[in-house]
Amino acid sequence: MFQERFVLRNLSRLYVSRNILSIPGSFSCWCDRFFHSLSAVDREIKKPTSTTVYSIRHYVEKPDLLKMVAGERGFVKETILRGKAATEVQESLLTEFIKDHDDASPEQWTSLLNKLFELNHGMIHAANIDGRILEMCYVAKKLPLARSYLNFIKCSGKKFNSVSVCGFIKICHECESSMTPEDNQRIQVFTKYLMTKHQVFDSITADAVIKGLILSGMGEESLRIYEEAVKTTVFPVTTYAALASYLIKNNQPERAVEFFRLMISKGVLTHHKVFIDWINFYDNDRKKLDELLAFFRDVDFKPSKEICDHLKAAYIKLPRELSLDGVYGYVKNSGECSVCQRPLDRLDLSEKEFREMRKCFLETVLVGNDIFQRSTPEELQKFITFVSKNAPFNIVLDGLNVAYMSGTSVAQEVNVGLVKGVVQHFHERDNKILLIGRKHMLGWPKFLSTLKEFDVKYFFIENISEDDIYIIYATLYSGLDAYFVTRDLLRSEKFGLSEEQRSLFKRWQQSHQIFITYVAPSGKVYMKTPISFQMMVQKTSTGGWHIPYTEETPVNSVKDEYGIHRKWLCLDRYLS
């Protein structure tokens, strides 16, 4: 078993053989080196097993040569790979095939399937092979390859099933610009087939039907299907993106934004192409371009570099009186843009904003039933009474989070030492400290005496309770001058706040959360203090924009991020 796992974890190394087969004698030497390395890892291996030979045989272009070399070394007869090992080989075979081919003949597909099905104890088999291949074509964005596989299915006499039909529609929607007239005709047939076969749609089928209708020029019908299915179906984010893109291209921006917000409600903003669709469609409309950036600001979304490239080009080509120049830069520690030298917006909340956000948080989170999924009414009431008697605090400390900075497997004395370093740091600066911990921490050596030494107030909750609510409650109750210490990213979405209140909550969080990065053996504490300016898309006093961006395509990009975001696009007048 060990040899089998070792080989399968390192299959990528076996491709080296493809580059040396043409050198006389080199393949035999390579086998010797590979088998010797196996023996070096596990001294009990006297010679490679038949499983090793079988695995390698699928990854070289001359399996007969390998079998000959194996025979010379006295390897036993080949055996069968099973379970996870067989599936890993199947996945690798399929991945390499998709990677190496933009199109494929029926003979090539037949050869691939024969290799896959030889491993008949793996998880890829005749019943699911169509879906697996089309899904991988979708990820690789290889429409011609998917098209050739569908033709192969048809020529082999098989019937298309719902999985293959949905898979092909999905690929065509992703690669719409590469579609042929034959693809268009096939999409219409497939969409009609799905609508006739299914009276009630699951999420995958509904997604395919909606995309098929859009591709067939029946976008309004797709919206009708959506309105019917949404009552019983949970849609993937790609459905919202497809409908938003259709609405943009048909000049219905307000309805498109509704689907943007549904994407936000899922906590992700994938498929940034939909935002590029907006920019391209409204590239001569300054108001609509500004509306997109205002949306990014409102939901605190950091676009990708590709989106920013399109924004920059669109703003530059506007009429002179409306155009903005675009220059990529960074934000200084002082909060100034390196391009225009103007400061970013302050992060601080006013007293009014703070009171409003605190009131909303308490009503939505503490009064709602959701809190009791993380705690108990008795425990919460006891904590509220404790805080009212002892507040205000300057520092609210997530005790367990600080204690586990070095991991959960270190000695408890180390955990206590980390907490001691942090509480001592804040105590020496005349802060009133509250530590919120779990009850199992009471058994740690000298833990309570350490807290008492530095006059720390403490409250221990049940081990199964979540401490997020307690930390935030105590900090909010203590007022605008209180800060909390944790390395956790407390995501505002989980508290059920409205969009406006989430924005206020995040501003408060970013300006009041302290991150401990390291506690030295000497006890010196290194930390990230709260930033003082906003790390989101924002409009300048001159009508321009400061836009933080990421280098990657945004996947799961609606997320909490702290510290100074360095990469920015500055859009303003007369920068160049």
DSSP string across 134-180: HHHHHHHT-HHHHHHHHHHHHHTTPPP-HHHHHHHHHHHHHTGGG--
pLDDT value of position 494: 56
Would you say residue 196 lies in a domain? yes
Question: Cβ distance 211 to 245 under 8 Å?
Answer: no
Lowest-confidence region among 43-47, 252-256, 380-384: 43-47
Q: What is the pLDDT of residue 562?
A: 57
**Higher pLDDT among residues 183 and 375, named by residue:** 183
In a domain, 337, yes or no: no
On average, the pLDDT of the chain sits at: 84
Q: Within a domain: residue 270? A: yes
In a domain, 355, yes or no: yes
- Residue 435 dihedral angles phi and psi, to the nearest 5°: -105, 125
pTM of the shown model: 0.72
Residues 90 and 74 in one domain: no
- Percent of the chain past pLDDT 70, that is, above it, reads 80
Based on the fold, state whether residues 131 and 253 are members of the same structural domain: yes
**Cα 116 from chain centre:** 31
Residue 549 in domain? no
Range of the structural domain that residue 460 is part of: 351-526
Q: Where is the domain boundary, 311, 327, 343?
A: 327
Residue 68 has pLDDT above 50, yes or no: no
Whether residues 124 and 201 fall in one domain: yes
Quick one: 143 and 215 in the same domain? yes
> Looking at residue 109, which CATH number applies to its domain?
1.25.40
Structural contact between residues 141 and 173, judged by C-beta atoms closer than 8 angstroms: no
Query: What is the reported pLDDT for 222?
Result: 97
Residues 257 and 375 grouped into a single domain: no
pLDDT for 35: 52
Using CA atoms, how far apart are residues 265 and 474, in angstroms rounded to an integer?
28
Closest to 401 in 3D by CA, of 478, 467, 483, 449: 467
pLDDT above 90: residue 83:
no
Which of 499, 419, 515 has the alpha carbon at shortest distance from 460?
Answer: 419
Residue 17 has pLDDT above 70, yes or no: no
In this structure, the answer to whether residues 252 and 127 fall within a common structural domain is: yes
Q: Is 308 in the same domain as 377?
A: no
Show which of 268, 293, 327 is a domain's final residue: 327
Alpha-carbon distances, residue 333 vs 267, 347, 387, 547 (angstroms): 29, 14, 36, 17
Mean pLDDT check: name the lowest of 99-103, 282-286, 316-320, 551-555. Answer: 551-555
pLDDT at 100 over 50: yes
Per-residue pLDDT for 51 more than 50?
Answer: no
Is position 451 within any domain? yes
Residue 82 pLDDT: 66
Give the helix/strand (H/E) hosting 117: helix 106-118
The answer to whether residues 377 and 401 belong to one domain is yes
Q: What is the CATH number of the domain that holds 406?
A: 3.40.50.11980
The yes-or-no verdict on residue 576 having pLDDT over 70 is no
The pLDDT assigned to 414 comes to 94
Same domain for 64 and 137, yes or no, is no
Q: pLDDT tens digit string along 541-575?
A: 999 999 999 986 544 444 445 567 889 999 998 76
**Is residue 314 located within the same domain as residue 417?**
no
Pairing label, strands 325-329, 568-572: antiparallel
Give the separation between CA 574 and CA 576, rounded to whole angstroms. 6
Count other C-beta atoms under 10 Å from residue 319's C-beta: 8
The pair of three-digit structure tokens given for residue 574, joined into one six-digit string: 């007369």
Q: Are residue 316 and residue 424 in the same domain, yes or no?
A: no
Q: Given 526, 550, 570, which residue is the final one in a domain?
A: 526
Kindly provide the residue ranges of all beta strands, DSSP E only, lying in 26-75, ordered along the sequence. Answer: none
Confidence of residue 432 (pLDDT cuts 50, 70, 90): very high
pLDDT at 130 over 90: yes
Q: Pick the more confident residue, 259 or 370.
A: 259
pLDDT at 200 over 60: yes
Task: Give the total number of structural domains in the chain.
Answer: 3
In the predicted structure, residue 118 carries a pLDDT above the cut 90: no
3-class DSSP state of 484:
strand
In a domain, 100, yes or no: yes
50 pLDDT above the threshold of 50: no
pLDDT classification of 281: cutoffs 50, 70, 90? very high
Whether the bond into 392 is cis, omega within 30 of 0: yes
Instruction: Report pLDDT digits (tens) over 460-473.
Output: 999 888 888 899 99
Residue 555 has a pLDDT of 42
My answer on whether 323 and 229 are in the same domain is: yes
Please write the tens of the pLDDT for every residue from 486-537: 988 776 555 667 777 888 888 899 899 999 999 998 889 999 888 889 989 9
The count of C-alpha atoms lying within 13 angstroms of the C-alpha of 287, restricted to the half-sphere facing its C-beta, is: 1
pLDDT beyond 80 at 392: yes
What pLDDT shows up at residue 465?
Answer: 81
What is the C-alpha to C-alpha distance for residues 128 and 124, in angstroms, rounded to an integer? 6
| pLDDT over threshold 80, residue 180 | yes
More confident residue, 371 or 188: 188
Q: What pLDDT shows up at residue 74?
A: 44
Q: Which helix (H) or strand (E) holds 457?
A: strand 457-461
Look up tokens 């409204």; give the residue: 282
**How far, in Å, CA of 402 to CA of 425, rounded?**
13
